[in-house]
């Protein structure tokens, strides 16, 4: 209903010779700042639809706070479907004005090739810029918790800085106290404090790379569960609204029985399949993982390979790593350590530390006198 009203209002203004963006351009700076503050407050409260509706009316205002909000909304699919090209447009504008979240998400886009070609050198430069900006964020600023969450990821994964367990933990603890984090940031923090599940290939090879940071992990099961619970409610709303990333993460909670949800492989698969219908690679890799391990479905390496391939062809490091695992162990395919090595190499280049460790294992155990280059 809100979106319908917004459309009708836009049409009415257009017929009258004006538009919402024209209003934004002509409005006094004080009015724009006030409206930007309202949009930001709605966003921080988790009302992403209303926040995006209000912010999009100011998209041409040149306001940096609005650019930061719209960039993040488009990048993560909060209040609007993911649109990476639009996201990068707004994030660039916000980063130029010193917004930490925009600087981090631009680095993330370069690192994983989201909305643009993957460029690890540029990603490194952008992570360095983010760290420099994040260090200056006022603890009283609403952006502080979010900045600390991203800073923890940088110190944990060695993004733009040397890996530092103590600084990662310090930033994560500060971020955990924030009340305005998105469900995605809450899930990332929860994983930081969560003990890795035994033999849980999906976590170790997750394409985000965050789950693979074992050396910087501070296990605190109670804090992890609290964060998962905070994330769960938001994920359910976003998944119901059609956000495939939220569907996938909600499936993860059902898979492991976390966030106040009972372990339920059928519900996990339901969420993964919904996200896969949107061609969401991370969910396709999870479906491959379910078939690969017989979780809620009959063990089926052929179907696992099919789903892993779907994910891998979209650049999913998890899907690539799982294909490597099938070849390494001869599961549904003829064992081929060279082929395993090639897939692990692709996954490693995609950010999977688990694949990097498995690559070393294939190189150590390959019986061939000359191990093929994994180009």
> Cα-flanking dihedrals φ and ψ of residue 350, to 5°?
-85, 0
Confidence (pLDDT) at 271: 98
Yes or no: say if 178 and 144 are a contact pair by the CB < 8 Å rule: yes
Averaged pLDDT for residues 113-133? 91
Confidence (pLDDT) at 261: 97
- Determine what percent of the chain is predicted with pLDDT higher than 70: 83
Q: Is the pLDDT of residue 63 over 80?
A: yes
Confidence (pLDDT) at 1: 44
Angle between helices 281-293 and 265-276 (to 10 degrees): 140
Band of pLDDT at residue 12, cut at 50, 70 and 90: very low
DSSP 255-323: HHT-TTPPP-HHHHHHHHHHHHTTT-HHHHHHHHHHHHHTSSS---HHHHHHHHHHHHHTT-HHHHHHH
Of the candidate ranges 2-11, 39-48, 94-103, 166-175, the one whose mean pLDDT is the lowest = 2-11
Q: Is the pLDDT of residue 296 over 90?
A: yes
Q: How many CB atoms lie within 10 A of CB 101?
A: 24
Confidence (pLDDT) at 3: 43
Diameter over CA atoms, the chain: 78
Band of pLDDT at residue 345, cut at 50, 70 and 90: very high
Confidence (pLDDT) at 367: 53
Confidence (pLDDT) at 310: 97
Averaged pLDDT for residues 163-190? 94
Confidence (pLDDT) at 360: 85
Band of pLDDT at residue 112, cut at 50, 70 and 90: confident
Confidence (pLDDT) at 208: 36
Q: Is the pLDDT of residue 373 over 60?
A: no
Confidence (pLDDT) at 29: 74
Q: Is the pLDDT of residue 2 over 60?
A: no
Residue of 134 and 9 predicted with greater confidence: 134
Confidence (pLDDT) at 272: 98
Of the candidate ranges 21-25, 32-36, 103-107, 287-291, the one whose mean pLDDT is the lowest = 21-25
Report the alpha-carbon distance of residue 24 to residue 249 in Å, rounded: 36
Averaged pLDDT for residues 308-330? 96
Averaged pLDDT for residues 108-116? 90
Yes or no: say if 316 and 281 are a contact pair by the CB < 8 Å rule: yes
Averaged pLDDT for residues 144-150? 95
Confidence (pLDDT) at 68: 96
Report the alpha-carbon distance of residue 206 to residue 288 in Å, rounded: 13
CATH of domain 1-135: 1.25.40.10
Band of pLDDT at residue 27, cut at 50, 70 and 90: low
Band of pLDDT at residue 26, cut at 50, 70 and 90: low
Of the candidate ranges 77-91, 151-165, 275-289, the one whose mean pLDDT is the lowest = 151-165
Averaged pLDDT for residues 70-78? 97
Confidence (pLDDT) at 118: 82
Confidence (pLDDT) at 82: 95
Average pLDDT of the chain to the nearest whole number = 86
Yes or no: say if 251 and 281 are a contact pair by the CB < 8 Å rule: no
Yes or no: say if 246 and 274 are a contact pair by the CB < 8 Å rule: no
């Amino acid at each position: 209903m809100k979106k319908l009203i917004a459309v009708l209002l836009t049409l009415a203004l257009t017929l009258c010779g004006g538009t919402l963006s024209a209003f934004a351009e002509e409005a006094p700076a004080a009015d724009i700042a006030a409206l930007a503050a309202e949009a930001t407050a709605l966003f921080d409260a988790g009302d992403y639809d209303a926040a995006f509706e209000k912010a999009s009316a100011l998209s041409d205002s040149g306001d940096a706070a609005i650019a930061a909000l719209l960039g993040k909304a488009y990048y993560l699919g909060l209040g609007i479907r993911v649109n990476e090209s639009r996201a990068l447009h707004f994030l660039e504008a916000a980063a130029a004005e010193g917004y930490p979240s925009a600087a981090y998400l631009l680095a993330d886009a370069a690192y994983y090739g989201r909305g643009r070609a993957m460029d690890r050198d540029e990603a490194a430069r952008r992570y360095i810029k983010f760290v420099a900006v994040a260090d200056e964020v006022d603890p009283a600023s609403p952006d502080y918790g979010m900045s600390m969450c991203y800073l923890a990821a940088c110190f944990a994964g060695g993004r733009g800085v040397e890996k530092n367990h103590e600084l990662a933990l310090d930033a994560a603890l500060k971020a955990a106290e924030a009340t305005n984090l998105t469900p995605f940031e809450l899930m990332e923090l929860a994983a930081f404090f969560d003990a890795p599940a035994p033999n849980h290939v999906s976590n170790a090879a997750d394409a985000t790379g965050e789950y693979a940071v074992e050396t910087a992990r501070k296990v605190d099961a109670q804090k992890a569960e609290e964060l998962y619970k905070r994330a769960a409610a938001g994920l359910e709303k976003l998944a119901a609204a059609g956000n495939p990333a939220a569907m996938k993460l909600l499936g993860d909670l059902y898979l492991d029985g976390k966030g106040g949800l009972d372990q339920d492989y059928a519900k996990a698969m339901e969420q993964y399949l919904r996200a896969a219908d949107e061609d969401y690679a991370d969910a396709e890799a999870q479906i491959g993982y379910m078939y690969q391990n017989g979780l809620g479905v009959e063990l089926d390496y052929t179907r696992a390979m099919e789903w892993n391939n779907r994910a891998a062809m979209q650049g999913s490091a998890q899907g690539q790593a799982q294909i490597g695992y099938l070849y390494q162990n001869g599961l549904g395919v003829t064992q081929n350590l060279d082929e395993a090595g090639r897939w692990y190499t692709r996954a490693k280049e995609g950010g999977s530390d688990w694949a990097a460790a498995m690559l070393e294992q294939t190189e150590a155990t390959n019986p061939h006198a000359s191990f093929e280059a994994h180009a």
